[in-house]
Amino acid sequence: MATLYLTHAAFLKHDTGPGHPERIERMRAVEKVLSQEDFDGLTREDAPEADVAVIERVHPKKYIDAIRAAEPKEGYVHIDADTVMSPGSWEAALRAVGAGLRAVDQVMTGEVQNAFCGIRPCGHHAETARAMGFCLFNNIAIAAQYAKVAHDAERVAVVDFDVHHGNGTQDIFWSEKDLFFASTHQMPLFPGTGAVGETGVGNIFNAPLRSGDDGERFREAMETRILGPLQEFAPDIIFISAGFDAHVNDPLASLALVEKDFAWATQKIADIAHLRANGRIVSMLEGGYDLDGLAGSVDAHVRALMDAGA
Ligand SMILES: [Zn+2]
């Protein structure tokens, strides 16, 4: 079965301004790598705009309205120190959510085996009523809730290997025993959460790594703290918060992962997806700020998704 790739030209219009690491060129780098002949087998679709009513299942209407109203007619608006909107950001935010919803529809109905959403803005730092860390809406939490409501998924898991802790997703999942959140991340580092002791209702699994840790430490953390609980949780679908800023060349962090570590993690998650979840995986792009590191890591990740569906 195929792997679905969702993206949209609207992601090139969300402009964070000069010198911002979460920049338009990231999307171009992803698009370029996935337009290679090796990826001809991908099923490609434009990311649709999400229905605001679906976003309201995670974010209060007042917050959503405030984000919509904050979009400037020209120039830039800072939502906080790191999070910026430009003309076009609202549409990009709706399509970033919409990519996940469409991926859930196609994966849950068996039209495709798994999906990769090449999107921006990212989502995992967004809390229910607070934009943060380049994120406006929590794309993956909204998609996870949607899998439960629209497709009767009973248990939904998110594995987050972005170098930053997915504080927003953890916050939204905190007291929901049918939602599972597991994260590897550098600590200490923005946003400051993600200690081992943060466990929710037994559904949160944090595996912090130290500055300088390489692929070996990453794999050990995945194997000892995340993959076992994930398999035991027996999810109906697995989401991946696929940030590639744990890459050795990333300018925002100091872990030392390389492309093959992301391929390894993807394959391990896919093995559990095959055992427990009919192979269903929806992967959504989060961070990754070295353009070559991002491109190479997306190449490795999507290849592993395609192999898992073959
Ligand atoms: Zn990150």
Delineate the domains of the chain, giving CATH numbers in brackets.
Answer: 3-309 (3.40.800.20)
- 3-state secondary structure at position 179: strand
Backbone angles phi, psi at 187, to 5 degrees: -145, 135
- Predicted confidence at residue 26, as pLDDT, reads 98
Calpha distance 159→275 (Å, rounded): 16
Calpha distance 75→97 (Å, rounded): 24
Residue 241 confidence class, pLDDT cut points 50, 70, 90: very high
The two three-digit tokens of residue 294, written as one number: 């991002």
Calpha distance 149→129 (Å, rounded): 21
User: Distance from the CA of 74 to the center of ligand 1, in angstroms?
Assistant: 27
User: Distance from the CA of 296 to the center of ligand 1, in angstroms?
Assistant: 16
Omega before 121 cis (within 30°)?
A: yes
pLDDT of 69 above 90: yes
pLDDT above 70: percentage of residues in the chain = 100
Q: Residue 115 pairs with which residues in a beta bridge? A: 4, 282
User: Distance from the CA of 70 to the center of ligand 1, in angstroms?
Assistant: 24
User: Distance from the CA of 294 to the center of ligand 1, in angstroms?
Assistant: 12
CA distances from 71 to 14, 16, 130 (A): 10, 12, 15
Averaged pLDDT, 111-135: 98
Neighbouring residues of 29: CB distance < 8 A, sequence distance ≥ 6? 291, 292, 294, 295, 298
Averaged pLDDT, 221-242: 98
- Among 125, 165, 247, 301, the one annotated catalytic: 125
Averaged pLDDT, 147-171: 98
- Predicted confidence at residue 310, as pLDDT, reads 86
Which runs of consecutive H residues, i.e. helices, occur in 109-176? Answer: 139-151, 167-173
- Predicted confidence at residue 149, as pLDDT, reads 98
User: Distance from the CA of 293 to the center of ligand 1, in angstroms?
Assistant: 13
C-alpha closest to that of 308 among 3, 40, 5? 3
pLDDT of 67 above 90: yes
Averaged pLDDT, 110-128: 98
Q: Is 194 left (phi over 0), alpha (psi -120 to 50) or beta?
A: left
Clarify whether 164 is annotated catalytic. Answer: no
First-last CA distance in the chain? 6
- Predicted confidence at residue 51, as pLDDT, reads 98
pTM (two decimals): 0.98
Tell me the pLDDT of the chain averaged across its residues.
98
Q: For residues 2 and 309, is the Cβ–Cβ distance under 8 A?
A: yes
Averaged pLDDT, 100-119: 98
- Predicted confidence at residue 301, as pLDDT, reads 98
- Predicted confidence at residue 191, as pLDDT, reads 98
Residue 24 confidence class, pLDDT cut points 50, 70, 90: very high
pLDDT of 133 above 90: yes
